[in-house]
Amino acid sequence: MTPKVSVILPSYNHEQYVEAAVRSVMLQSGVDFELIVIDDGSKDRTPEILKRLADELKFTYIHRPNKGVVPTLIEALSLARGRYVCSFSSDDIMPPDRLKKQSDFLDAHPEAASCFGQIVPLYEGDKIGSEMDVRYLRSVPRISFEESFLGQKALHGCAEMFVREKILAIGGYDKRYYFEDYPLYLSILYHYGPQPVSKDFVCCYYREHGDNLHVDNDRIFSEILRILAENYSKHPLYKKAVRCWKANWFSAVAAQSKLKALRLIPKVISLSPRFWLRLPKLFIPRKLMKY
């Protein structure tokens, strides 16, 4: 039987968390699904754990040398058979009935190429946060290309579900870039128009730990600017988008290090109102800036 949903899960050095992640997927009910796990050359006990789980729970498991997250997702997507696809991280937890709720949502919105839900933080000791993450909570039912392009609204990679044929038609994941989500989201929004975001279901308990709390902002924002330049430089909002993302870059660095933010000013300074509105972050104590 062909599954309705394919869950693709790349793993790398998550021996502490991968079993909980896999079991949370395999506990989904109410919809036919398959799980495809590719271990990207882990050097800890992750492969051993996944082999045991694959034997027990009967999902597709591949272990091979390291290639990076984007090539791993491309490989997993090529194996997927479901009408719908969602990627998931090997250190997060999938809430019960997520796959059913999200696939039912797409069934009810056949014009959509994707849909997004909400995330809730997962803290040390598997303590689930009491509220949805405000960085991704939507007050509007859709997100447009312009909102994403200008960095006004964010989407979380573990809250997604795609129509497989539609994302393959626009090229799927882009191997030119080191992270997977933003290039694909922009492409979906550009080709298929605004996409739905539901506040009615949580898609992921997003684990916050040392490995994902220390973000290389310089690398991320430099890559975002490269994505814009290589794909959308002729878009009428391109120059504004560059100014907005430079302001976002400055804001993110200022929240981590005042000294680094001062050094960054010559690279990101612009006439964008957003930049000047965020300049005061240099004078706000770090403990008062949650985001």
Radius of gyration of the chain from its Cα atoms, rounded to whole angstroms: 19
**Run of H or E residues at 52:** helix 46-57
Asked if pLDDT for residue 281 goes beyond 60, the answer is no
Q: For residue 237, what pLDDT is reported?
A: 98
Could you tell me whether strands 114-123 and 127-128 are parallel, antiparallel, or unpaired per DSSP bridges? Answer: antiparallel
Confidence band, pLDDT 50/70/90 cuts, at residue 208: confident
Q: What is the number of residues in the chain?
A: 291
DSSP 69-104: HHHHHHHHHHH--SSEEEE--TTSBPPTTHHHHHHH
Q: Is 38 helix (H, G, I), strand (E, B) or coil?
A: strand
* Residue 284: both structure tokens together: 């706000």
DSSP 184-211: HHHHHHHHH--EEEEEEEEEEEEE--HH
**In a 10 Å sphere around its CB, with 0-12 CB exposed, 13-18 middle and 19+ buried, how is residue 180 labelled?**
buried
What value does the mean pLDDT take over residues 75-90? 97
Asked if pLDDT for residue 38 goes beyond 60, the answer is yes
pLDDT digits (tens, 9 = 90+) for 22-37: 999 999 999 999 999 9
Confidence band, pLDDT 50/70/90 cuts, at residue 211: low
Confidence band, pLDDT 50/70/90 cuts, at residue 98: very high
Task: Return the higher-pLDDT residue of 138 and 2.
Answer: 2
pLDDT digits (tens, 9 = 90+) for 105-124: 999 999 999 999 988 888 77
The per-residue pLDDT of the chain, averaged, comes to 87
Q: For residue 291, what pLDDT is reported?
A: 47
Closest CA to 35 of 75, 73, 1, 80: 80
d(CA 38, CA 35): 10
d(CA 161, CA 171): 16
Helix axes 181-192, 217-232, angle to 10 degrees: 30
List domains and CATH numbers for the chain.
5-212 (3.90.550.10), 215-288 (no CATH)
Report the range of poorest mean pLDDT among 145-159, 178-192, 229-243.
Answer: 145-159
Query: Kindly report the CA angle at 246 between 72 and 119, in degrees rounded to 5?
Result: 50
Task: Return the higher-pLDDT residue of 192 and 209.
Answer: 192
Spell out the residues 6+ positions from residue 234 whose beta carbon is closer than 8 angstroms to its own.
Answer: none
